[in-house]
Amino acid sequence: MNTTAVILAAGLGTRMKSALPKALHPIAGRPMLTHLLDAAKSVFDRIVVVTGPEMEAVAMVAAPYPTVVQTARLGTAHAALQAAPQFGAGEVAILYADNPLITAETLRRLREARSGEIGLALLAMRPPAPGKYGRVLTDAVGDVTAIVEWAEATQDQRDVTLCNAGVFCAAGPDLARWLAAVRADNSKGEYYLTDVVALAVAEGRRVVAVEADYTELRGVNSRVELAEAEAAVQGRLRRAAMDGGATLTAPDTVFLSADTLLEPDVTVGPHVVFGPGVIVRSGATIFAFSHLEGCVVESGARIGPYARLRPGAEVGEGAHVGNFVELKATKLGAGAKANHLAYLGDSTIGAGSNIGAGTITCNYDGYLKHRTIIGAGSFVGSNATLVAPVTLGANSFIAAGSVITQDVAADALAFGRARQSEKAGGGAAIRANWATKGKKS
């Protein structure tokens, strides 16, 4: 029978004081919802996402998985009930988009726990500070007897350290029946998903708790909790990168995206930030304070320190991108070097070329972007300005300080600067003029 994960994603960003729906707040460069989708898709056959009214942006992130709309926000049980027509007969798990750290392994343990005579399985945790979490009460054999909300708990019940994480799994028909039976007889007048525990117990069904680490089950309801979740994910990503053979010389200072790929024998210095879509091949080195996004760095390349690779940058094998050099939509060929203070946008730079300090490609005319093509083995002198569209032939030389507006033939030497002139005594005359005006140099 097919298994289904229902993800509740109708929450607003109220406590975050944000117009962005809660499910779309990013962690490691991806929306929280995407993290949970990635975990759920390897465990469940189907996924359904419950959104709220006018939350098309959430539906776009959820695609290609189907969405249903909770037109009135009447509580978590009411939200889950909107997806009941799609439950089917297999196991159904109810998840929350603001619980983005749950791993596929934990979801698999939850699903497997709901088998045989077990009517309902739930996730539970032991937070370091249980606070106002609902307490999970168990009997002598460990079966769950109830979930008691903190406000309604006795002192003995508040002393229980096992807390509800809010995630439930049951057979589809059972869960649909229990959800339909939930009543809004509470101070808020809402339909609470936790009430299905009492309904299952009342039917004589066994309910079990699957315990997982708090750092995995914590929810995200505020900016502070979002930062804590970011730190947890970054810890996972750093460990995975180092387990995969990459060296992070100061791991706590390196920030990765969920899709960052660092191959074995990559070395990453302190304070490096990887945005989404970065691939770094084996043997490359990323020096301190560099920022990379949407780019590929080939084997043996050296990036930074203080380099910026923007989307579309491709750095060839053994190439060098030095301090305060920025690449955007640019392919830097194998062995090419741009070691100092350069902007290279919308360019193709041939293998073995050398780009001098202060060089810029003028790729934007205020309306369109244009490309610069630099042939293999070329030398571009310091402070050259290359006005695109322009092509420099292979092995060409561009004199320092030149403004190049026309194509340069292969093997040619190009000058694009005014002829230097000198006025004898001119410097002394300027200083004398300042003196008469009382101006200091």
Residues marked active site are found at: 340
Altogether, the residues listed in the chain come to a count of 441
How far is Cα 318 from Cα 56, in angstroms, rounded to an integer?
Answer: 45
Nearest 5 degrees, angle CA 113-CA 239-CA 211? 20
Given a contact cutoff of 8 angstroms between Cβ atoms, the answer to whether 107 and 43 are in contact is yes
Q: Is 34 helix (H, G, I), strand (E, B) or coil?
A: helix
CA 368 to chain centre: 30
Sort residue 181 into left (φ over 0), alpha (ψ -120 to 50) or beta: alpha
Output phi, psi for 410, to 5 deg: -60, 140
How far is Cα 196 from Cα 138, in angstroms, rounded to an integer?
Answer: 16
Sort residue 358 into left (φ over 0), alpha (ψ -120 to 50) or beta: left
Q: Is 431 helix (H, G, I), strand (E, B) or coil?
A: helix
Q: Is 428 helix (H, G, I), strand (E, B) or coil?
A: helix
**Closest C-alpha to 39, from 100, 113, 124:** 100
- Eight-state DSSP code of residue 305: S
